[in-house]
Amino acid sequence: VESPAKGQATEMHATALRVVGWADPETYPLQKKRHSFEKLREWAHLRPRTNTFGAVTRVRNQISQSIHQFFHENGFFYTNTPIITASDCEGAGEMFRVTALDLEMLAKSGGPVNYSYDFFDKPTFLTVSGQLEAETYACALGRVYTFGPTFRAENSNTSRHLAEFWMVEPEAAFFDLADNMKLAEDFLKRIFKDCLNACEEDMQFFDQRIEKGKIAQLQSVVEKPFSHMTYTEAIDVLTSCDEKFEYPISWGTDLQAEHERYLTEKHVDGPLILTDYPSCIKPFYMRVSDDGKTVAAMDVLVPGVGEIIGGSQREERLDVLQGRMTEADLDQSEYDWYIDLRKFGTVPHAGFGLGLERVVQYVSGMGNIRDVIPFPRTPGNAEF
């Protein structure tokens, strides 16, 4: 019926009411008063009922759909890579172990672990990336991407890190660094555009309740080209500015979140693609540049979040790859299959990884990455 009240056109005129599932208002955790996002994390099973997390879930769904649509339209094959793996793509060693051994018996024995008694007959881990396996299919099919859960055993209690998250990783044969950068920019712009068009009400909610001006910001990002800068140029900017950083920065050190935010929020005021990082701070598989000091790597940084994409042209030259593996003190026998890709018909190729949660965080304006995934996994927290 027509509503006599302001702010609404109609009202529902009920002739009967039947309670399907009763909730005691005295004990129901989600009271009328506003709860902090931190408090709502304690009720991760109930928070989807709130306006904020309903909007986050719908936008996350749209981003996931856009990912598949973009790659399908651009000739990429969706490929599934293993969750349980024996290789470490990042070479950092911060991985969750997978074992079927009796941990109580191991503790009593006190000796080294005999993996010949384990399920896989060797040490195995939860994957930190599907990149290496995706390369095998890119070198055969041309263009592929993988999209699935990823795990990092890093003791990072920050607003940008999770122990379990979702990552999309495209790999393309005959792509160089320039092709890779264009793909990343086109990809992000497609995601942002789809969210603005398909999630209009939810984006208005974020714009009004979470981060003022978010819609205008995303529209500007879609319309303008991303800024570009080499790592060396970024170091020059950071060392010559008047900003006081908590972490000192110099050539050969990795950028921290505060450095990334300064570059994107104060220097270029928008997304920034950084390239040509020192080889000493990047993984073994990135292609060494002609100067011998840098690699053909790229990171896409965005305001408020920092790194949202990390990628590179891969090292396709067998001798250079093996040299880099030796420098990284990696057991090459564990990477025989990866080396075979260079032995048997090598091709130039490139790719990147994009963390789904960081994209959702940027699109929504949510301040903490734990609030853009249904059940966050962080140090000391594995509830539900």
At 266, list the tokens.
Answer: 């104060």
Three-state SS at 353: strand
At 74, list the tokens.
Answer: 């651009």
Task: Specify the pLDDT at position 314.
Answer: 98
CB 341, CB 135: distance < 8 Å: yes
- Tell me which residues of the chain have a pLDDT lower than 50: none
Q: Indicate the length of the chain as a whole number.
A: 384
At 152, list the tokens.
Answer: 């990092």
Kind and range of the H or E run holding 181: helix 177-198
Domain locations along the chain = 56-371
Task: Specify the pLDDT at position 90.
Answer: 63
Please, what is the Cα angle at 271 between 267 and 277, to 5 degrees?
80
Task: Specify the pLDDT at position 5.
Answer: 84
Spatial CB neighbours of 222, under 8 Å, sequence gap ≥ 6: 189, 192, 193, 196
Residue 379, amino acid: P
Three-state SS at 30: coil
Beta-carbon-side half-sphere exposure of residue 247 (alpha carbons within 13 Å): 12
Task: Specify the pLDDT at position 92.
Answer: 53
Q: The dihedral of CA 281, 284, 285, 286: what is its sign?
A: positive
Q: Measured between alpha carbons, how far is 289 from 292 in angstroms, rounded to an integer? A: 6
Q: Which CATH number fits domain 56-371: 3.30.70.2860, 3.90.870.40, 3.30.930.10, 3.30.1330.30?
A: 3.30.930.10
Q: Measured between alpha carbons, how far is 335 from 352 in angstroms, rounded to an integer? A: 20
Cβ atoms within 10 A of the Cβ of 43, count? 14
Which residue, among 262, 357, 246, 275, has the nearest Cα to 303 in the 3D structure?
A: 262
Three-state SS at 105: helix
Model confidence over 277-289: pLDDT tens digits?
A: 999 999 999 999 9
pTM of the model: 0.93
Spatial CB neighbours of 306, under 8 Å, sequence gap ≥ 6: 160, 257, 260, 261, 264
Q: Measured between alpha carbons, how far is 141 from 205 in angstroms, rounded to an integer? A: 42
Q: Specify the pairing of strand 84-85 against strand 272-278.
A: unpaired
Q: Measured between alpha carbons, how far is 182 from 192 in angstroms, rounded to an integer? A: 16
Three-state SS at 330: coil
At 307, list the tokens.
Answer: 């790194």
Q: Measured between alpha carbons, how far is 159 from 137 in angstroms, rounded to an integer? A: 34
Model confidence over 288-314: pLDDT tens digits?
A: 999 999 999 999 999 999 999 999 999
Distance of CA 39 to the CA centre of its chain: 25
Task: Categorise residue 109: left if φ over 0, alpha if ψ from -120 to 50, beta otherwise.
Answer: alpha
Instruction: Give alpha helix (H) positions in 111-176.
Output: 131-141
Cβ atoms within 10 A of the Cβ of 178, count? 13
At 135, list the tokens.
Answer: 């390369």
